[in-house]
């Protein structure tokens, strides 16, 4: 989703020294430098990006397509596309993601759950057997015969 396409613009900011309590829904992009106590969810109708900066503290659920964390999150994190954990990221809660980039120094106290594996487990309880039935890959550089 975010490979070569332009990311959505960050249109909203919760500044340092600000504290918001309650559920928060946003579109496009949101940057948090202050504190949020409550769930933060991106509107699912368009691509979204959420940046939780080094000075930010979030207590509650975090959900967006692309989530970048360099601050503290106490609660579950759900990145439907990409989760970037920068060196000062601290998460206490379950983390689910489609793709993960984790820098040295980031800390997670909770379970990591790839979205792909969750979907397979829910759709097909026998997914491990399906994975064993994959064909053997042959190296392109080797000549056979």
Given this model, what pLDDT does residue 30 score? 97
pLDDT 10s digits, 1-29: 455 567 889 999 999 999 999 999 999 99
Q: Are 21 and 42 in contact (CB under 8 A)?
A: no
Given this model, what pLDDT does residue 140 score? 64
Where exactly are the structural domains of the chain?
A: 10-132
Please give the model's pTM, rounded to 2 decimal places: 0.77
pLDDT 10s digits, 22-78: 999 999 999 999 999 999 999 999 999 999 999 999 999 999 999 999 999 999 999
Q: Is the pLDDT of residue 99 over 90?
A: yes
């Amino acid at each position: 989703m975010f490979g070569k396409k332009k990311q959505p613009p960050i249109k909203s900011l919760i500044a340092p020294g600000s504290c918001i309590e309650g559920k928060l829904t946003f579109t496009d992009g949101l940057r948090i430098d202050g504190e949020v106590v409550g769930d933060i969810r991106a509107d699912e109708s368009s691509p979204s990006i959420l940046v939780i900066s080094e000075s930010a503290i979030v207590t509650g659920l975090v959900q967006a397509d692309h989530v970048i964390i360099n601050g503290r999150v106490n609660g579950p994190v759900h990145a439907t596309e990409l989760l970037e954990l920068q060196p000062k990221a601290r998460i206490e809660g379950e983390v689910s993601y489609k793709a993960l980039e984790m820098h040295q120094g980031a800390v997670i106290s909770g379970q990591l759950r790839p979205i792909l594996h969750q979907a397979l487990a829910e759709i097909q309880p026998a997914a491990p057997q399906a994975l064993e039935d994959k064909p053997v890959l042959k190296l392109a550089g080797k000549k056979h015969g």
